Amino acid sequence: MDLSLNDTQQLIQDSAKDFVRGSCGRDVLLKLDRDPKLVMGTLWKPMSELGWTGMAIPEQYGGTGNSLTDVAVLFEELGCGPVPGPLFSSAVLCARIIMEAASDPQKKAWLPMIASGESVFALALTEQQYNWSAYGIRTHARRSGSDYVLSGTKVFVHDALHATDLLVAARVDGAANISLVRVDAKAAGVSVRALDGFITGMSEVLFDNVAVKASDVVADGWPAAERAMLAVTPVLCAYKVGSCKAIFDLSLNYARERTQFGQIIGRFSRVQDHLIHMVNYLDSARWTTYEALSKLDNGSDARASCHVAKSVSSESYMHACDYAHEVHAGIGVSREYGLTLHTKMSRSLYHCLGAPKAHRKMLENVMGLVAA
């Protein structure tokens, strides 16, 4: 598999690198970590002006219609930060779900707003079990005249803190099938509570008898939403590839500069072991991620590759952070040093779009290893 970039991807990579270096230095990222509400005012406008909010959206809806690999190249560089914000949630995840599941009038109403950056969508799916499937969804919408009233609680909602609109998975009128409901994040009855200890605007969202128009309901949209979530999973994996690379580079440079007992610590076999483990995790995440992206862009069956990429990249990012802390020792836990930003991000994204264990179970299904 050829991992070289084409001309378009090289331009995307160069632009993203310039953005991360110029606008997302360590001091900026630490400030955003202290106060996530500053993310939108600091990062969203320049991201929108660079056209990143429309990359994954077709031209007919105001986007630029880039390939998933193009988008992944961008997110790999953002992962080096790690740069926070709702770009993935809104312009990739929710945009893809809307393209797959929504009606034509809904697409025409919602996608151009996402592409321009004017609207920021977040997917409100998971509940107490933190399960990225239809299992356990209790949020419901009941008929009220010609419209609906939505009630329920969503937990661990990524980027809800930054959203103008929420795409909510719910059962409508007691139906077994799951529908999707667009809700104004500022509507009466919606309350968003930030969850401490996370770095992705993670929140609990309460819907208390929220009025919803019938035109904002995507009936029986769950099967299409599942396809969409799996298709964009490798883009999230690419973010983790960039993160693994950043912490490896940070650790390698530290091992070359830090002296102990009269020599650089990189000459100690135990430190070398940690760095080699990090290389293994980085390469495993990179190759599985871009194999899945290649299949998706070529129209091949990528289901198995997507499950493998998510399982590998989540565990790679988390374990690479662990080894980075082994290399750095005490300084690594200093907040000002910056490594803990990645540590928090690796944990915050570990379960996003499904935990590794869940993806391994779904891989068994794809491979036909589960009894009917």
Q: Dump pLDDT digits (tens) for 112-159.
A: 999 999 999 999 999 988 888 888 899 999 999 999 999 999 999 999
Mean pLDDT confidence for 226-240: 97
Q: From CA 29, how far away is CA 34, in angstroms rounded?
A: 9
- Reported as a pLDDT band with limits 50, 70 and 90, residue 371 is low
- Residue 316 predicted with pLDDT over 90: yes
- Residue 219 predicted with pLDDT over 80: yes
Cα distance between the two ends of the chain = 35
Q: Looking at per-residue confidence, does 196 or 179 come out higher?
A: 179
- Residue 303 predicted with pLDDT over 70: yes
CA distances in angstroms from 262 to 257, 272, 326, listed in the order given: 12, 17, 20
Mean of pLDDT over the chain? 95
Angle of the 356-366 helix axis to the 303-328 helix axis, nearest 10: 150
Range with the poorest average pLDDT among 34-43, 54-63, 270-279: 34-43
157: tokens are 């909602």
Angle of the 7-23 helix axis to the 68-79 helix axis, nearest 10: 30
Phi, psi of 77 (to 5 degrees): -70, -40
> What is the model's pLDDT at position 135?
84
> What is the model's pLDDT at position 372?
54
Longest Cα–Cα distance of the chain, Å, equals: 79
CA 209, chain centre distance (Å): 29
> What is the model's pLDDT at position 364?
93
> What is the model's pLDDT at position 101?
97
Q: From CA 205, how far away is CA 197, in angstroms rounded?
A: 17
Pairing of strands 147-157, 121-124: unpaired
- Residue 263 predicted with pLDDT over 90: yes
What domains can be seen in the chain, in order of their start residue?
Answer: 7-120 (1.10.540.10), 122-220 (2.40.110.10), 223-366 (1.20.140.10)
Q: Which of 27-36, 171-180, 235-244 has the highest mean pLDDT?
A: 235-244
> What is the model's pLDDT at position 176?
81
- Considering only CA atoms, give the Rg of the chain: 21
Please list the residues that pair with 183 across neighbouring strands.
166
Q: Within a 10 A sphere around the Cβ of 34, how many other Cβ atoms?
A: 9
> What is the model's pLDDT at position 131?
83
- Residue 199 predicted with pLDDT over 80: no
Q: Amino acid identity of 286?
A: R
Q: From CA 143, how far away is CA 146, in angstroms rounded?
A: 7
Nearest to 99 by CA among 235, 227, 237: 227
- Reported as a pLDDT band with limits 50, 70 and 90, residue 197 is confident
H-run or E-run covering 341? helix 339-350
- Residue 324 predicted with pLDDT over 60: yes
